[in-house]
Chains A and B, each alone.
Chain A
Amino acid sequence: MSLEEPDPRSRDVGETPEGTVDYDALEALLGETALDREEHVNATAFVVRPDEVQEALNALRDEAGFDYLSNVTAQEYADRYESIYHLKKYDDPTQEVGVVVPTVTDAPVSQTAEPVYRTADWHEREAYDLVGIEYDGHPDMRRILLPETWQGHPLGSDYNPEKPQVVPFREHANPLQPDSRGEGAESDTMFLNIGPHHPATHGVLHVKTVLDGEQIADVEPDIGYLHRCEEQMCQQSTYRHQIMPYPDRWDYVSAGILNEWAYARAAEDLADIDVPEYAQVIRTMSAELCRICSHMLALGTFALDVFGDFTAVFQYAFRDREVVQNILEELTGQRLMFNYLRLGGVAWDIPEPREDFFEMVRDFLDGLPEKTTEYHNLITSNEIFQVRCVDTGELPPETAKQYGATGPVARGSGVDIDLRRDDPYGYYEELDWDVVTEDGCDNYSRVLVRMREVEESAKIIEQCVDLLAEWPEDEREIQSNVPRTLKPDADAEVYRGVEAAKGELGIYMRSDGTDTPARFKIRSPCFCNLHTLREMTEGEYVPDLIASLGSLDIVLGEVDR
């Protein structure tokens, strides 16, 4: 819970007393800038000229209070390119608005949104990389996911995947030879590659670091070493069954069901599918089990990063993950890639005998408080740990918002946002639990948030188990009626997010009337959270960089997609 008093803030322009968005008022605010209106399933969007993007976004941010650029989607139509900025408010994420920027097909250039929202920097680089729209005034218009010498833009319509590519490998120079990339010829800085194969980077992340003594002068995360074309994969798969296995592989540290839910929620809104209440309870329970599993990994690897504890804490965390994975395997049939959610419900009911399953879950929950105490004894009250984490990697709340940080990273900076409460879905609204925030803004707070969230998740699971155990036998409907071949209305567009383990995981989908999406865009929380790394580490020491990276809890599968 935030320590700040909730101040009765005055209403923004375009906000109704009920807390919804009055799009007519917004249109009046934008005035001449808004050329047209588009109705998306989640919100209304305004069409803006490509050279007036900043004007429109500035008005929406400063006057109407849309301080959160959630996502930037780029796509190509037959006659135009389009960038869509999905805006929300940190205070109330249900208030959404879109800004659509069409550009011409030959030489698509659009004004950058980076001066208004810092997070647009990486989003627009991705749009340039994959779709091919250039952003005028962007500080660093380079490829972000694909190698710099790549030819063509793979999500554009004229891309030929058969064409050969040449990928350079330049980091093979002798690591001992002098290499200073600081300013001026007299600079005595040292350039250091961390990754992409390094035990502390949590996967294949490459951090280009410039050191001044032991302090960090500049840090640049270089991503794309696990860019598996997830968006292309989803765009060529059918809604009904083929897409669902892919979300498991975005954030793969057992957070599968949380990711599946992101797709399920977006697709269910797009095609207007209901989900039976019983299935929602199962979804909620299994998703929270995934969250515990994911936070345990974050905790174990963070302890490994910070005090090299491969013995106790790391193994304890993995012991507890094994228990949760056993429960999830019992429920879904798989340890890691669950593929359990279906559009309109779940794949199957709680395994028989139900009592045994519930007992298994309750056993785990009963043992959890003792384990949590143990973790606190080993980790958070450990002096070495505190020296490494308290007041290092600071991320002030305003900076976190500028970078579009969500999840435990934002909540560790005192930003009170959690889509489970603020934009309710599933069964969360009916249950009794709290959103955890910490005001420290440092590495320590982010770890504390995760540890306390485990306890909150346990509370949710306990209530779900009680509900499921008493659910009348003839009302256990796990799946609503969904057509075998799903073809949402042509040109329907939706952007929906859920609170995944790392933050807001959003899906943008556009239907073209067929059974596969015309555009499938994943808004990854790790991608945005990783962007804050530079803010957190500049001027700090190298060990603090490792601690900050660990506390961000990134998963490269989700960063690169």
Chain B
Amino acid sequence: MSSESEKLHDTVSTQDARMGDGVDSRFNSKLREAFGSTPFILTKFDKFMNWVRGNSMFMLQFGIACCSIEMIHTYAIKHDLDRFGAGVPRASPRQADVIIVPGTIVSKFAPRMKRVYDQMPEPKFVVGMGSCTISGGPFQEGYNVIKGAEEVIPVDIHVPGCPPRPEALIYGIAKLQERIRNGETSPVTVKPYELEEFGDLERDELVRHLADRIDEDDLVMRYNWADSP
């Protein structure tokens, strides 16, 4: 009996056994040190989900303009965004949870972008890349240019630059991950431009003029340029 209990005390503790030389020292990690002898942790479910979300982000493969070239460089060799758990470009919006908006948005494209954004499942996050998604950038005065992505969809992180370097985009995404991990969200800003049915528009001069060319139930986006910031 006593010899048996001695035997029990002789054995190394579970933590030591796990942290020891073991099969391979590669199995030792900060995480294991933190967990100690038990492979269980107690946490809030929300906190755990946020941690998971931030570390496994599927990006939408979405190229618009110049910035998309730098975005490809961020995914590609050398910068390799995948290192940060955020580098799997998905071709379908239904499989993605982050959309990087890389470029100038013009009147013809905004309804399409809105639709692609709507097709993404919740929760979803938006990184605005480049000056054009902040304010229209160098093309702000253009007759056809939307003055920033926030006119159409809510944006979580703005990365300034024309175009931002890949390092800047990585920094922006790291910041987004940090916010997701902390469970922070961006306030939804006012979105003046919405997709709506043509029949629902106020019947002003322009709408009456177009009435014979657009069906009542066609989706439209109405741009009030004078109200744009």
Residues of A in contact with B (beta carbons under 8 Å apart): 146-151, 154, 159, 161-172, 196-197, 199, 202-204, 224-230, 232-233, 236, 245-246, 249, 252-254, 297, 314-315, 318-319, 321-322, 335-337, 556-557
Please tell me if the beta carbons of A337 and B66 are within 8 angstroms of each other in the complex: yes
- Cα–Cα, bound, A282→B65 (Å): 28
Please tell me if the beta carbons of B64 and A203 are within 8 angstroms of each other in the complex: yes
Binary interface encoding of chain B residues 76-90 relative to chain A, with 1 for a CB under 8 A from any of its CBs, else 0: 111000000000000
B125 at the interface (CB under 8 A from A): no
B52 at the interface (CB under 8 A from A): no
**Contact (A318, B139) CB under 8 Å given A163-B225, A164-B206, A172-B115:** no
- Residues of chain A within 8 A (CB-CB) of B65 are 203, 226, 228, 249, 252, 556-557
**Contact (A322, B73) CB under 8 Å given A164-B225, A168-B214, A557-B65:** yes
- Residues of chain A within 8 A (CB-CB) of B64 are 203-204, 226
Stretch at the interface among B4-12, B14-22, B105-113: B105-113
Please tell me if the beta carbons of B106 and A228 are within 8 angstroms of each other in the complex: yes
Partner of A228, one of B110, B142, B210, B221: B142
- Cα–Cα, bound, A236→B141 (Å): 10
Please tell me if the beta carbons of B144 and A169 are within 8 angstroms of each other in the complex: no
- Cα–Cα, bound, A146→B107 (Å): 8
Binary interface encoding of chain B residues 132-170 relative to chain A, with 1 for a CB under 8 A from any of its CBs, else 0: 000000110111110000000000000000110100000
- Residues of chain A within 8 A (CB-CB) of B165 are 335
B224 at the interface (CB under 8 A from A): yes
Please classify how large the interface on chain B is, using the bins under 10, 10 to 19, 20 to 34, 35 or more.
35 or more
* Closest 3 pairs (CB-CB, A-B): A229-B142, A252-B66, A169-B111
Please tell me if the beta carbons of A318 and B115 are within 8 angstroms of each other in the complex: no
Q: Which residue of B lies closest to A329 (CB)?
A: B165
Q: Which residue of A lies closest to B109 (CB)?
A: A225
Please tell me if the beta carbons of B116 and A197 are within 8 angstroms of each other in the complex: yes
- Cα–Cα, bound, A297→B68 (Å): 12
Please tell me if the beta carbons of B66 and A162 are within 8 angstroms of each other in the complex: no
**Contact (A169, B219) CB under 8 Å given A147-B107, A226-B104:** yes
CB distance from A519 to the nearest CB of B (A): 16
B49 at the interface (CB under 8 A from A): no
Q: A204-B109, A225-B109, A318-B77 are in contact. List 8 more A-B contacts (CB 8 A).
A: A164-B222, A202-B63, A228-B106, A228-B142, A249-B65, A252-B65, A254-B69, A315-B76
Please tell me if the beta carbons of A170 and B162 are within 8 angstroms of each other in the complex: no
- Cα–Cα, bound, A146→B223 (Å): 14
- Residues of chain B within 8 A (CB-CB) of A199 are 61, 91
- Residues of chain A within 8 A (CB-CB) of B145 are 228-229
CB distance from B197 to the nearest CB of A (A): 11
Name 25 A/B residue pairs within 8 A (Cβ), A-sorted.
A151-B209, A154-B143, A161-B225, A165-B107, A166-B206, A167-B110, A169-B195, A172-B115, A199-B91, A202-B63, A203-B68, A224-B106, A225-B106, A225-B108, A226-B104, A227-B106, A229-B139, A229-B142, A233-B142, A252-B66, A318-B73, A321-B73, A322-B73, A336-B66, A557-B66
- Residues of chain B within 8 A (CB-CB) of A168 are 198, 214, 218-220
- Residues of chain A within 8 A (CB-CB) of B226 are 162, 164
Q: Which residue of B lies closest to A256 (CB)?
A: B66
**Contact (A226, B219) CB under 8 Å given A164-B226, A252-B69, A319-B78:** no
Please tell me if the beta carbons of B214 and A166 are within 8 angstroms of each other in the complex: yes
Please tell me if the beta carbons of A233 and B141 are within 8 angstroms of each other in the complex: yes
- Among A203, A228, A230, A319, the one with the most B-chain Cβ atoms within 10 Å of its Cβ is A228
CB distance from B2 to the nearest CB of A (A): 63
**Contact (A172, B219) CB under 8 Å given A147-B107, A164-B224, A199-B91:** yes
Q: Which residue of B lies closest to A228 (CB)?
A: B139
CB distance from B110 to the nearest CB of A (A): 8
- Cα–Cα, bound, A261→B38 (Å): 67
B103 at the interface (CB under 8 A from A): yes
- Residues of chain A within 8 A (CB-CB) of B174 are none
Partner of B222, one of A166, A233, A337: A166
Please tell me if the beta carbons of A229 and B73 are within 8 angstroms of each other in the complex: no
- Cα–Cα, bound, A224→B65 (Å): 12
Q: Which residue of B lies closest to A222 (CB)?
A: B108
- Residues of chain B within 8 A (CB-CB) of A197 are 62, 112-113, 116
CB distance from B30 to the nearest CB of A (A): 31
- Cα–Cα, bound, A228→B162 (Å): 15
Please tell me if the beta carbons of B66 and A167 are within 8 angstroms of each other in the complex: no
CB distance from A561 to the nearest CB of B (A): 11
- Residues of chain A within 8 A (CB-CB) of B112 are 169, 171, 196-197, 204, 225
CB distance from A159 to the nearest CB of B (A): 7
- Residues of chain B within 8 A (CB-CB) of A171 are 112
